[in-house]
């Protein structure tokens, strides 16, 4: 049996929505993007939502908006997809990596230790869709001692008056934090990824959620950022296409990272059925959990814990006491059966670019431990009970064969 790792969910309704856009006479940023933003806003409870062409570009724009200066620090986990760190570099900041905890997420204790007068933002990542401890993180940045250490280097930072919390929510659309509060509404800024492998997709895309405190006005900011995502041009192509709407101005140095309607159409049709898709992901997750909980060698990933619930984006199985080489052998064995698995993630200090920046894996023991024993199993709505049995057997057989 051939089981791909993460094929996109495409049904007739989604195809119809895309065709509708193609036939409408308007294919780039326009009504479908606005409709998708409204859907994500309603679903997540975020105050405002702006769609862009990727998580990465959205995060870069938000950090540029924050006005990072040379030497400004942004705290991130060592255990995440590299975009989290790369966005910080692109925005002119200095990423400070901290270790993770057993649940894969950033260690708040280590965040506290990493805060200096140069810290401008924290980017916690909801790994696999399981939310971080946001009450703790938001309390931390609001502590009087932490606030008095804060030294703004831009007008926006001055208005902020404290460290900004930007949730890398690339995995966690639909996750709940603290009994019903959805990710996207819990931090100053949260960015979802709508990349092809994510829970909801526009092929490529990202959604920036804004929940900034006073004196910011999220609605005004939405309009400013929308312009910033369109080269800081005062009129987008849609308004310019109307009779008499030709004159515009460029007000600053923006980026060109807007989402096209043809992409938004995919996400729009997916959002309409997302509660169902989420239930199906949960079904798959539960079947794996039932199967692996019985095995003394398996560590099942967190899903529902301390009032939090995952978005079931990745099934991150860990194997007790296994070496990195044995894990790699298990992956080879599983792959030979036709089941595609993955590893989430290679800690950044193991990658060339970050090694060259001076990061060392020895400084992140928990991140390494999580990595060396982790295998991500396929998880998506289309997986049948039969396919899941096949995956489970492949993993069990691989364990037996590798550990003798």
Ligand X SMILES: *Cc1c(COP(=O)(O)O)cnc(C)c1O
For ligand X, the binding residue among 21, 54, 157, 310 (CB under 6 A) is 54
Q: Which residues face 376 on adjacent strands? A: 316, 342
Of 62, 22, 39, 2, nearest in space to 200 by CA: 39
Which residues, 6 or more positions from 325, have their beta carbon under 8 angstroms from its beta carbon? none
Give the per-residue contact string, 235-274, with ligand X (x = CB under 6 A; - = no): ----------------------------------------
What's phi and psi for 308, nearest 5 deg?
-105, 150
β-strands 164-168, 119-122 pairing? parallel
9 binds ligand X (CB under 6 A): no
125 binds ligand X (CB under 6 A): yes
For ligand X, the binding residue among 184, 206, 347, 349 (CB under 6 A) is 206
CB–CB of 371/323 below 8 Å?
no
Window of 15-23, 166-174, 359-367, 369-377 that interacts with ligand X by CB under 6 A: 166-174
Window of 81-89, 98-106, 140-148, 250-258 that interacts with ligand X by CB under 6 A: 81-89
For ligand X, the binding residue among 44, 84, 172, 258 (CB under 6 A) is 84
Dig out the tokens for 105 from the structure.
């997420």
Window of 31-39, 76-84, 97-105, 353-361 that interacts with ligand X by CB under 6 A: 76-84
167 binds ligand X (CB under 6 A): no
95 binds ligand X (CB under 6 A): no
Q: Which residues face 315 on adjacent strands? A: 377
119 binds ligand X (CB under 6 A): no
55 binds ligand X (CB under 6 A): yes
Cite the DSSP H helix spans in 79-192.
83-90, 108-114, 134-142, 144-149, 155-160
Q: What is the smallest separation between the CB atom of 171 and ligand X, expressed in angstroms?
A: 6
Q: Which residues face 75 on adjacent strands? A: 96, 122
Q: What is the smallest separation between the CB atom of 118 and ligand X, expressed in angstroms?
A: 23
β-strands 94-98, 119-122 pairing? unpaired
202 binds ligand X (CB under 6 A): no
Between the alpha carbon of residue 6 and those of residues 9, 158, 312, 339, 378, the distances in Å are: 9, 43, 13, 11, 6
Q: What is the smallest separation between the CB atom of 80 and ligand X, expressed in angstroms?
A: 5
Sign of the torsion formed by the C-alpha atoms of 76, 80, 84 and 85:
positive
81 binds ligand X (CB under 6 A): yes
Window of 23-31, 48-56, 212-220, 283-291 that interacts with ligand X by CB under 6 A: 48-56
Backbone torsion region of residue 104, taken as left when φ is above 0, otherwise alpha when ψ lies between -120 and 50, otherwise beta: left
Q: What is the smallest separation between the CB atom of 351 and ligand X, expressed in angstroms?
A: 14
195 binds ligand X (CB under 6 A): yes
For ligand X, the binding residue among 63, 85, 132, 170 (CB under 6 A) is 170
Q: How many residues in total does the chain contain? A: 404
Q: By CB under 6 A, how many residues form the interface with ligand X?
A: 14
354 binds ligand X (CB under 6 A): no
By beta-carbon distance, which residue lies closest to ligand X?
A: 55
Which residues, 6 or more positions from 398, have their beta carbon under 8 angstroms from its beta carbon? 329, 330, 331, 333, 334
Report the distance separating Cα 189 and Cα 62, nearest Å. Answer: 8
- Choice between 88 and 298, CB closer to ligand X: 88
For ligand X, the binding residue among 41, 64, 120, 171 (CB under 6 A) is 171
Applying CB under 6 A, the residues found at the interface with ligand X are 54-56, 80-81, 83-84, 125, 168, 170-171, 193, 195, 206
């Amino acid at each position: 049996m051939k089981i791909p790792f993460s094929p996109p969910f495409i049904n007739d309704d989604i195809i119809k929505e895309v065709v509708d856009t193609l036939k409408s006479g308007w294919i780039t940023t326009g009504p479908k993007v606005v409709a998708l933003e409204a859907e994500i806003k309603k679903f997540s409870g975020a105050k405002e939502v702006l769609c862009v062409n990727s998580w990465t570009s959205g995060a870069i724009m938000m950090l540029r908006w924050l006005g990072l200066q040379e030497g400004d620090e942004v705290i991130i986990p060592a255990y995440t997809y590299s975009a989290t760190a790369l966005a910080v570099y692109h925005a002119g900041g200095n990423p400070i990596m901290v270790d993770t905890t057993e649940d894969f997420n950033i260690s708040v204790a280590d965040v506290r230790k990493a805060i200096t007068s140069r810290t401008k933002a924290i980017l916690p990542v909801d790994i696999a869709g399981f939310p971080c401890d946001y009450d703790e993180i938001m309390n931390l940045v609001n502590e009087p001692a932490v606030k008095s250490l804060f030294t703004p280097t831009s007008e926006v930072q001055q208005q902020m008056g404290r460290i900004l919390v930007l949730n890398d929510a690339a995995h966690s659309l639909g996750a709940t934090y603290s009994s019903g509060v959805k990710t996207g509404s819990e931090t100053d800024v949260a960015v979802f990824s709508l990349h092809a492998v994510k829970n909801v997709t526009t092929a490529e895309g990202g959604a920036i959620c804004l929940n900034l405190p006073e004196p910011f006005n999220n609605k005004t900011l939405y309009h400013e950022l929308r312009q910033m995502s369109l080269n800081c041009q005062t009129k987008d192509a849609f308004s310019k296409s109307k009779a008499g709407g030709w004159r515009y101005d460029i007000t600053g140095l923006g980026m060109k990272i807007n989402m096209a309607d043809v992409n938004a159409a995919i996400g729009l049709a997916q959002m309409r059925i997302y509660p169902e898709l989420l239930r199906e992901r949960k079904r798959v997750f539960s079947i794996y959990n039932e199967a692996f909980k019985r095995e003394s060698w398996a560590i099942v990933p967190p899903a529902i814990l301390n009032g939090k619930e995952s978005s079931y984006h990745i099934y991150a199985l860990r194997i007790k006491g296994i070496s990195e080489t044995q894990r790699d052998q298990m992956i080879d064995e599983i792959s030979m059966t036709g089941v595609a698995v993955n590893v989430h993630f290679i800690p950044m200090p193991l990658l060339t670019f970050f090694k060259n920046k001076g990061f060392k894996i020895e400084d992140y023991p928990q991140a390494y431990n999580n990595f060396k024993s982790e295998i991500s199993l396929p998880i998506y709505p289309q997986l049948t009970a039969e396919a899941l049995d096949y995956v489970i057997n492949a993993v069990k057989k691989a364990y037996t064969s590798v550990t003798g």
